[in-house]
Amino acid sequence: MTEQPREYAQTKAQMKPAFYATKPTGATLFLRTFFPWQVWRFLWINFKMLIIIHKSHKGL
């Protein structure tokens, strides 16, 4: 019997169930494609960044 290359053994070990990603729920898929939600998240994240930047520039 021939030995398997090291890469094969590592790949085989990574195929255990613990390495698989979970399947997204229907609600998750909906929010990923719902444009108003994407706009809200974009605005909220940018608002939080502005607060952080404002705080960092306050001391200058």
Both tokens of 8, joined, read 């094969």
Q: Mean pLDDT across the stretch 14-29? A: 80
Under DSSP, the state recorded for 16 is: S
Q: Which domain holds residue 41?
A: 23-60
- Match 């607060």 to its residue by tokens: 51
Q: Mean pLDDT across the stretch 24-46? A: 97
Asked if residue 27 is part of any domain, the answer here is yes
Asked if residue 12 is part of any domain, the answer here is no
Asked if residue 7 is part of any domain, the answer here is no
Asked if residue 35 is part of any domain, the answer here is yes
Number of domains in the chain: 1
Contact (CB, 8 A) for 31 and 37: yes
Give percent of the chain above pLDDT 90: 55
Q: Residue 27's closest CA among 37, 17, 19, 18? A: 37
Whether the pLDDT of residue 28 is over 70: the answer is yes
